[in-house]
Amino acid sequence: MSSPPICLGDTVLLADVGNTRIKLAVLVDHGVMDPEQPTLHPTQLTHRLPTVGRRHDLTSHGFRHDQLEKWLKSVAPGAAVVIVASVHDAAAAKLEACLAELSVTSHRPLRQRRIGHADLPLLIRLESPHRVGIDRLAAAAAAGILKTPGRSAIIVDCGTAATVDMVSADGEFLGGAILPGPSLMARALAEGTSKLPEVLALEQSAPPPMPGRSTHEAIAAGIGFGIQGAIARLVAEARTTLGGDADVILTGGWRGAVRAVLPGALDMPDLVLMGVALAAERACAR
């Protein structure tokens, strides 16, 4: 896809296309970046984290054209550029096709730009950065600015798949761990057994007390306490690896289910979108 130029006068819309949801937002303000200095990682950034607003969610599977059109009319009545970060190719392709159609039918330019790892202000200490999910990298770029100067950061992203990633004190992405989120765990139990039901809505609450007094409660307890234990252990391992104090940053739709085991964690529900906004601002400086 072509990469249209972005300027400070553009209305910039952001799209984080995940496995379950498409998170949309507006870049509310642009920071100030020095176009003469190439930005490699967050320690070189000279502006604060950008602000995003007017959030709206679509389902990645089967969202309707009119849902997108209604949101666009409310936030960008004129021309706009849409910055897309995606880990779901089919959903991103549908989104981009809808945007292209709306650009014609509404008689206003809706330019698009899908970002990759090279668009982010982040130094990636991995052999194949292009194979890392752009959502993880966008979150890491934003975390590199949010974290306390001189400290490392641990990012816990509670999505369809959960990730626990590390950013060094120098703002470098070091990698991390990936595990299934509660909905995938519940689906695996239901599909991998003959009689266990699929337990829904586990992502919105803490696990029930032990012991579970029904099959539903037993599954909810197993998944709920299991995910809490896994996340807590991974964060502890990350702290050990980093060898010092680290800021823990929590994001994602079911983060409330693990907040109790991460005391002091910074709650940042739009962390990935903030990282996508950084890519947009970096494009403005070029």
- Given 10, 16, 135, 165, the catalytic residue: 135
Q: What's the token pair of residue 186?
A: 């519940």
Q: Are strands 21-27 and 123-124 parallel, antiparallel or unpaired?
A: unpaired
Cβ proximity of 257 and 201 under 8 Å: no
Nearest C-alpha neighbor of 2 from the set 87, 121, 84: 84
Provide the residue type at 267 as one letter.
D
Q: Is 135 a catalytic residue?
A: yes
Q: What is the C-alpha to C-alpha distance for residues 182 and 161, in angstroms, rounded to an integer?
A: 8
Q: Please give, one letter per residue, the 3-state secondary structure of the chain.
A: CCCCCCCCCCCEEEEEECCCEEEEEEECCCCCCCCCCCCCCHHHCCCCCCCEEEEEEEECCCCCHHHHHHHHHHHCCCCEEEEEEECCHHHHHHHHHHHHHHHHHCCCCEEEEECCHHHCCCEECCCCHHHCCHHHHHHHHHHHHHCCCCCEEEEEEECCEEEEEEECCCCEEEEEEEEECHHHHHHHHHHHCCCCCCCCCHHHCCCCCCCCCCHHHHHHHHHHHHHHHHHHHHHHHHHHHHCCCEEEEEEECCHHHCHHHCCCCEECCCHHHHHHHHHHHHHHCC
Alpha carbons within 13 angstroms on the beta-carbon side of residue 43 total 12
Active site residues: 135
